[in-house]
Structure 1
Amino acid sequence: MTAPLLEALEVRKSYGDRVVLDDVTLDVHPHDVVCLIGSSGSGKSTLLRCLNLLEDVDDGVIRFEGREISDPHVDPREVRQRMGMVFQAYNLFPHLSVLDNCTLAPRRVHGLARGAAEDRARELLATFGLADHVDKHPDRLSGGQQQRVALVRALCTQPTLLLLDEITAALDPELVGEVLGIVRDLAERGTTMVLATHEMGFAREVATTVCFLSDGRILEQGPPQQIFTDPREERTRQFLTRVLPG
């Protein structure tokens, strides 16, 4: 087996007296799609933010591409050049057009020429059905379109790893499918992803590994077939009984 692209080893994170990540260990290999499931407050979003160095860890080690990135001396901006993240709330720049939102980081952070950055962005926007919206501002788009733009913006930096934090949670139900369709397409293209999601059917279909988090711990992890049909932990069974139809 190839070496992990990302490793988290016994990662701990607390806010005051509240432990939000408790000895979390996780390996992500190239082309993996790792789905984090669990109740709200179980630690999914905090784990993603720690992996992307948006939060400092209290203990443990995170390695990315063979390098320890949890070291306080590591520049988070350098790490994020290779690791894209998409949030629940889109976080698009409202004063910039779709095209400018997607080309800002490649030009300013990666030093890509404007023409090359725009060519890359236009190609991705067209791939995901947004070719007619390149000159619009975010407030002219639906929620689903804005989230698709956020995904394209992350992909424009050509990240090695993509982190997705509940990206359908703020969408109307009829828009969820169009965003999940893009993520499904990315998975089929071999994009390495770690995503927190409440969409159990999607996790079952797309994930290579499903991790069930409870009280800040990865209580159980395995292939989706095992997690969804024969979970080993009683807490996992209780959670799935509540969230799965039937």
Structure 2
Amino acid sequence: MTGSAPPLLEVRGLRKTYGDRVVLDGLDLAVDTHEVVCLIGASGSGKSTLLRCVNLLESVDDGRVLLDGREVTDPTVDPRDVRRDIGVVFQAYNLFPHLTALDNCTLAPVRVHGVPRSEAVDRARGLLDRFGLAAQADVHPDRLSGGQQQRVALVRALCTQPRLLLLDEITAALDPELVGDVLELVRAEAEAGMTMLLATHEMAFAREVASRVAYLHQGRVLEIGPPAQVLGDPTEEATRRFLRRVLPERPPGAPA
């Protein structure tokens, strides 16, 4: 973590199972305000489940999630109140097909946050323009490319002015030529100070953008630290094995 202020997000001893399968096994993690933490790890390591638990889309079996010091996993807490402070973008764009790009982006600010429609429209149009989508504002999702739909999904999340942005492998479903455009937009939000927790398989992007990289293994954060350390000179053998599989070259410090 950076600085002495309490973390914006704190996960303590989080446990989640599906039947006999343990997905999160006492996971601990903290994210400071304005920090970008990238989650890496093999499929099934718990990255997506962690994000869904933070946003209260999944119930937890044990442990706590705190947002700005408030325990949001307390059963008395209304998940809708929590989600007002959290934006989320998944692999699937999940845009409403019957709404235009603009209406997709203004729905939550107006319906959930009580923002006047004129203000919500101005904010959404400004973001759509910034993301290169001004001409697509009145277009329905089925007329947009995959990259355009994912950018609209990002705009939709940002239109609620979240304190925390969760991104779950948002380039996984995109054609390779579209990945760079979407990641560049995420990079710009990181540089503007947005607090992010994101799962990614783009190691080069994690190296460039992350404040810290967390390697998840068997439902726990096995290793966490600056990108240069975790991706370049990992201390854990499991991290080294994972990076040998996903990086084009053996990371420095890894045994031959």
Please say whether Structure 1 and Structure 2 have the same fold, judged by a TM-score greater than 0.5: yes
SS at match of 1:211: strand
Cα-to-partner distance string for 1:177-218 (whole Å, 9 max, x where unaligned): 111011000001000000000000000110001000111111
- The one-letter code matched in structure 2 to 1:83 is I
Aligned length: 246
Structure 1 residue 125 corresponds to structure 2 residue 125: no
Superposition CA RMSD, Å = 0.6
**Who is 2:21 aligned against?**
18
Q: Equivalents in 2 of 1:11, 1:137: separation in Å?
A: 39
Asked if residue 187 in structure 1 is aligned to residue 179 in structure 2, the reply is no
* TM-fit CA distance, 1:243: 0.5
**1:108 positional shift:** 0.3
Residue 128 of structure 1: how far off its partner (Å):
0.8
Normalised by the size of structure 1, how large is the TM-score? 0.99
Which residue of the partner structure matches residue 150 of structure 2? 147
1:176 maps to 179
Q: Distance in 2 between matches of 1:116 and 1:229?
A: 46
Give secondary structure in 1 for the equivalent of 2:38. Answer: strand
CA deviation after TM superposition for structure 1 residue 92, in Å: 0.2
Instruction: State the Cα distance separating 1:73 from its structure 2 match.
Output: 1.2
Paired AA for residue 139 in structure 1:
D
Aligned to 1:78: 81
Q: Which residue of 2 aligns with 1:199?
A: 202
Alignment of 1:212 with 2:215, yes or no, is: yes
State the secondary structure of the residue aligned to 1:85: strand
Q: Please say if 1:166 is aligned against 2:169.
A: yes
User: Counterpart of 1:144 in structure 2: which amino acid?
Assistant: G
Any gaps of 5 or more consecutive residues in structure 2? 250-256
- DSSP-derived class of the 1:164 partner: strand
Listed as ranges, the matches of 1:28-47 within 5 Å are 28-47=31-50
Q: CA offsets, 1:125-146, max 9 Å, x none?
A: 1111111110000111110110
- Output the amino acid matched with 1:99: L
| 45, 53, 58: which one aligns with 2:56 | 53
CA distance in 2, matches of 1:135, 1:4: 39
| Separation (CA, whole Å) in 1 of partners of 2:116 and 2:96 | 20
Q: Hey, what does 1:98 align to over in structure 2?
A: 101
- How far apart are the structure 2 equivalents of 1:65 and 1:90? 28
Letter paired with 1:48? L
Please state whether the residue corresponding to 2:223 is helix, strand or coil: strand
Q: TM-score, normalised by structure 2?
A: 0.95
1:28-77 deviation per Cα after TM superposition (whole angstroms, max 9, x unaligned): 00000000000111100000000000011111111001100011111101
Return the alpha-carbon distance in structure 1 between the equivalents of residues 164 and 79 of structure 2: 15
Residue in 1 that maps onto 2:254: none
Identity of aligned residues (%): 70
Matches within 5 A, 1:202-241: 202-241=205-244
SS at match of 2:120: helix
> Which aligned runs of 4 or more in structure 1 are off by greater than 6 angstroms?
none
Q: Give the aligned partner of residue 253 of structure 2.
A: none
